[in-house]
Amino acid sequence: MANSPSGDSMTDRLVRVLETFTAERSMQTASEIGRRAGLPSSTAHRIVDELVAAGLLERDEDRRVHLGMRLWELALRGSTALRLRQAALPHMERVQALIREHTQLAVLEQGEALFLERLSHPDAGANITRIAGRLPLHASSSGIVLLAHAPGELRDRVLAGPLRAVSHETVTDAASLRRILAEVRRTGVAVAPGWIESVSTGVAVPLRDAGEVVAALSIVLPRDTPPEPAIAALRVAAGEIEQALRADRR
């Protein structure tokens, strides 16, 4: 692969361009992309033009670009995320109909909880989770489940900090978090009251595929709602999703 004068490969530059898009920043000009990706303007314009021609980026009338449908199509094709989501969705819908709050599915991705799906009831309470959005592992109920079952090396790295407080109630003390993680492994459920926002409580359970925890299934409840019905519904759904994943392997 041809390298630029600064020594980075074409792939590095492409990844840097694509990574300038975030959940909050979905539309940008080529100049903004170049600045954020640390690329010379001419290089950024060329890469953006090529990505638009390939359909991986799309351009609107104001010449601003966003991630293209073709990128979504390629990313989902045969991905483990899609398989998980398809197995989980009918059971998430059942949880959703029963509890009438937010039901979501998250996986561990590069040291964060990445949300693959979120179902919401029109009357449900506050929730900052976005599909394809991320939350810190130590601060969210899904993240705590994923961290509890992550390789010890990753757990040590996350607990070594920095452990950012998302709300006033986020647990940022490594020793307390270690105790919480052990408790989550023992009980099979994480409850995070006010850790993300003081008005809500996250509850999450692990989802296993071939014996390994591959995802977390969670509900975001208004803070004053007793969590027990949500926990019971999550446990039933997790068992059903695990069965669907087993059937899918045969």
Binding site for ligand PHB (CB under 6 A): 126-129, 135, 140-142, 192, 195-197, 200, 202, 204, 218, 220
Tell me whether residue 34 or residue 125 sits nearer to ligand PHB (CB atom): 125
Scored b (16 or more CB within 10 A) or e, 216-240 reads bbbbbbeeebebeebbebbeebbeb
Shortest distance in whole angstroms from residue 191 CB to ligand PHB: 9
Nearer to ligand PHB, 28 or 104 (CB): 104
Q: In whole angstroms, how close is the CB of 217 to ligand PHB at the nearest point?
A: 11
Q: What's the min distance (Å) between Cβ of 19 and ligand PHB?
A: 23
C-alpha–C-alpha distance, residues 202 and 125, integer Å: 11
Shortest reach from residue 113's CB to ligand PHB, in Å: 8
Q: In the bound complex, what is the minimum distance in angstroms from residue 129's beta carbon to ligand PHB?
A: 5
Q: Closest approach of Cβ 23 to ligand PHB, in Å?
A: 13
**For ligand PHB, which is the closer residue by CB, 6 or 198?**
198
Nearer of residues 21 and 115 to ligand PHB, judged by Cβ: 115
Residue 198 and residue 168 in contact, taking contact as beta carbons nearer than 8 Å: yes
CB of 117 to ligand PHB, least distance (A): 13
Region for residue 119 given its phi and psi (left: phi exceeds 0; alpha: psi -120 to 50; beta: otherwise): beta
State which residue, 187 or 243, has the beta carbon closest to ligand PHB.
Answer: 187
Report the candidate in 230, 18, 241, 13 with the shortest Cα–Cα distance to residue 116. Answer: 241
* Full 3-state SS string of 5-36: CCCCEHHHHHHHHHHCCCCCCCCECHHHHHHH
Q: Which stretches within 55-123 are classed as H helix?
A: 69-76, 80-99
Strand arrangement, sheet containing 112-119? 134-136, 112-119, 102-109, 212-222, 200-209, 190-193
Query: Are 131 and 107 contacting, i.e. CB atoms less than 8 angstroms apart?
Result: no
Measured from the CB atom, is 32 or 197 closer to ligand PHB? 197
Query: Which is closer to ligand PHB, CB of 51 or CB of 144?
Result: 144
Crossing angle of helices 152-159/141-148, nearest 10°?
Answer: 130
